[in-house]
Chains A and B, each alone.
Chain A
Amino acid sequence: MNLRKAIATGLLILSITCSVKAADLTVTIDHIKSDEGTVYAQLFLGEDSYNNNNAAQSAMMPAKQGAGEFTFKDLTPGDYVVRLYHDENGNQQLDMNAFGMPLEGYGFSNEAVANMGPPQYKDMVVRIEESDGVVKTKTKMTYL
């Protein structure tokens, strides 16, 4: 997603959020393998945005071995998916082997995990309702 599109999307969300209460989504990470590199998180609103790789927000933090946490603030009600990856070698991408298997750590909201293939949208989705204050979701990191 380019910057212009990202801003436009942001404005759209903002215009919606004016009329409804906002919520925060806290994402806890169960196990980061090492202190190397950066952990990236992408937040997707709805299935289309996930399938089109069109993130509503993204965040990053220096990797620190053990548990970790991200918070996405002021979210409008809706169905969200969070995808994480641990860019250990700092090349700003999720490295894959020649058959497309991730070589670096990755994880999904709702503790969804790959099982004979990537997890299904329905297993990753976190619903945020209008009345919610802080919604929490966990991720299980998978390393090859």
Chain B
Amino acid sequence: MNRRQFISQLGLISAMGLVPKSLLALGDTATSTFELFRQALQKNPELLGYQNYTQERVVDQLEIEGQFPADFNGRLFRNGPALFERNAIRYGHLFEGDGMIQAFTFKQGQVSFRNKFVQTHKFKTEQAADRFLYDFSDIGIPNPLPISSADTINPANTNILPVGDELWALWEAGSAYGVNPDTLETSGVIGLNDQLKGMPFSAHPKVEADGTIWNFGLDYGSGQIIIYQLNARGQLKKYGLIDSGYHAILHDFLITKNHLLFILPPLSIDVNAGSFMQQQKFDKNQAMRVLVVDKNNLQVKSAHEFPACFMFHFGNAWEEKDGTLKFDGCRYPDFNVMTVLGDVMAGQTSPNKQSLSQTVVFSIHPNGQTKQAFFDGLSEFPRIYPSLTGLKNTKVFTTSGHPDAETMHSIRSVNLETGHIDLFDYGRDYLVEEHIVVEQGQKAQSNGWLLGTALHWPSKRSCVSLFKAENLSAGPIARAWLPFHIPLGFHGNFKPQRV
């Protein structure tokens, strides 16, 4: 029975007065997702990380194991979808939840915490109405309001970037929202200039060592990509448009010293296939395209092809002395991961459907020849030493885990030249999130830190751990515990602070 038939049958039953009105008021998909998740959570406590979250809290002092260095001062900001449910309706995809900012403050060995939802147009209007108002994914939200622009439904839920004196909460398809780093109060939509109002500003800007910010936004309809260059204070320096011929999900991109790289997986859109997520069709027989754009004139300089694959995230890109372009990413052999991230909303962990991602280094030689080098082990959320963004780097830091595990439970660094792996396993009772590299002092790359959060599901608590980046296998030098759990987030960044 398809959805339309199902709904019309519900209508028939309603006429007979056999079904309570409260149930009929809800769409079939959203209701069943809500019920399925509730039932699944009782059987599988690991699903805690995807549970609906509404609390905004402050914790002045976290319980600490080990010792945070007295000179490790600053804040870890993280963003992720947290509010998934209103009135017994649950979103059908992880990416739809409203963005919630988490802030861990490290000050002279102590750690404090606060979290707050980004006050987007969507969140504020739905909060006031006490119900979901926008049915972006056609899940059956009653009496939905029209969606006149992407910012109407912008949940600002993907990343949080320190820019000047404030933070920018980022989503893939809409504007950035300004957030105060001290209070986490939302200041409003970031306006780059009048002509760029309402334009997408992706969740994966690249920041060069001098603070220059590069970013992009894709217009799914036209396939045009806007490229932004901003200064360290977030002011627009220049922008340009390229025609990509690509219309599907585009999450991340790369920069080198002289170029921007857009990696376009073999995805196309089937407009008759339901929600936007369901419309994405992966064709394993088509190539993954790479567009190389000149940073100076923002024009496409060359295009290259690799065998079909999908990547959400890239570590870094750089230019070798001989002109070879190299970049690394967490490569999935197909697009099943997107289905898995939807299934988890209904409490379905789908180990059989899950395709594993691994670190791959892609090379484009000056003669146009391309190569791929594969590195063993599960790999996601790649990060590098921030000062090497766009420059040659040897190490990428990722989350990892045992291939038979349904979630990430390790962190590691991979030496892209030697293949050496330095790994720390939190254990299967942790859900490990993105860990970021923090540089401190002159010899940044030998004194760096790796900092990240994890959810310990048996005790229903989250923690933040600090490692020496060059010796992960020694384990964390310090860990701070919240007395409760916070939902699994996506991305974050560290902002150093003088004390």
Shortest Cβ distance from residue A98 to the other chain B in the assembled complex, whole angstroms: 6
Decide yes or no: A144 and B147 within 8 Å by CB, A98-B226, A99-B199, A99-B224 being known contacts. Answer: no
- The answer to whether the Cβ of A3 comes within 8 Å of any Cβ in the partner chain is no
Q: Is the CB of A115 within 8 A of B146?
A: yes
Closest to A116 in B: B147
Q: Is the CB of A97 within 8 A of B148?
A: no
Q: Is the CB of B226 within 8 A of A99?
A: yes
The answer for the CA separation of A133 and B149 in the assembled complex, in Å, is 37
Partner of B149, one of A95, A98, A144: A144
28 pairs, A vs B, C-beta closer than 8 Å? A95-B195, A97-B195, A97-B196, A97-B199, A98-B195, A98-B196, A98-B224, A98-B226, A99-B198, A99-B199, A99-B219, A99-B221, A99-B222, A99-B224, A101-B199, A103-B194, A103-B195, A103-B197, A113-B148, A114-B148, A114-B149, A115-B147, A115-B148, A116-B147, A142-B148, A144-B148, A144-B197, A144-B198
B interface majority secondary structure: loop
- The answer to whether the Cβ of B319 comes within 8 Å of any Cβ in the partner chain is no
Partner of A113, one of B146, B196, B224: B146
Shortest Cβ distance from residue A43 to the other chain B in the assembled complex, whole angstroms: 23
Interface of B toward A, CB cutoff 8 Å: 146-149, 151, 194-200, 219, 221-222, 224, 226, 239, 241
The answer for the CA separation of A61 and B134 in the assembled complex, in Å, is 34
Complex interface: chain A residues within 8 A of B196 (CB) = 97-98
Q: Mark A80-95, 1 if CB is under 8 A from B, else 0.
A: 0000000000000001
Count of CB-CB pairs between chains A and B under 8 Å? 45
Known: A98-B226, A101-B149, A144-B151; 4 extra A-B contacts, CB below 8 A, are: A99-B199, A99-B226, A100-B222, A116-B147
Interface of A toward B, CB cutoff 8 Å: 95, 97-101, 103, 113-116, 142, 144
Complex interface: chain A residues within 8 A of B148 (CB) = 113-115, 142, 144
Partner of A101, one of B146, B194, B198: B198
Complex interface: chain B residues within 8 A of A99 (CB) = 198-200, 219, 221-222, 224, 226
Complex interface: chain A residues within 8 A of B200 (CB) = 99
Shortest Cβ distance from residue A48 to the other chain B in the assembled complex, whole angstroms: 23
Closest to A99 in B: B219
Partner of A98, one of B147, B151, B199: B199
Shortest Cβ distance from residue B274 to the other chain A in the assembled complex, whole angstroms: 13
Q: Is the CB of B197 within 8 A of A114?
A: no
The 8 tightest CB contacts between A and B, nearest first, are: A115-B146, A99-B219, A113-B146, A114-B148, A144-B198, A101-B198, A142-B148, A116-B147
Q: Is the CB of B146 within 8 A of A97?
A: no
Shortest Cβ distance from residue B415 to the other chain A in the assembled complex, whole angstroms: 41
The answer for the CA separation of A115 and B199 in the assembled complex, in Å, is 17
The answer for the CA separation of A129 and B224 in the assembled complex, in Å, is 44
The answer for the CA separation of A99 and B194 in the assembled complex, in Å, is 13
The answer for the CA separation of A100 and B198 in the assembled complex, in Å, is 10
Shortest Cβ distance from residue A67 to the other chain B in the assembled complex, whole angstroms: 20
Complex interface: chain A residues within 8 A of B147 (CB) = 115-116
Complex interface: chain B residues within 8 A of A95 (CB) = 195
The answer for the CA separation of A118 and B195 in the assembled complex, in Å, is 20
The answer for the CA separation of A80 and B195 in the assembled complex, in Å, is 32
Complex interface: chain A residues within 8 A of B222 (CB) = 99-100
The answer for the CA separation of A95 and B198 in the assembled complex, in Å, is 13
The answer for the CA separation of A98 and B221 in the assembled complex, in Å, is 13
The answer for the CA separation of A97 and B149 in the assembled complex, in Å, is 12
Complex interface: chain A residues within 8 A of B197 (CB) = 97, 103, 144
Shortest Cβ distance from residue B349 to the other chain A in the assembled complex, whole angstroms: 31
Decide yes or no: A103 and B198 within 8 Å by CB, A98-B226, A98-B241, A144-B151 being known contacts. Answer: yes
The answer for the CA separation of A99 and B199 in the assembled complex, in Å, is 7
Complex interface: chain A residues within 8 A of B221 (CB) = 99
Complex interface: chain A residues within 8 A of B239 (CB) = 98
Shortest Cβ distance from residue A124 to the other chain B in the assembled complex, whole angstroms: 13
Complex interface: chain B residues within 8 A of A101 (CB) = 149, 198-199
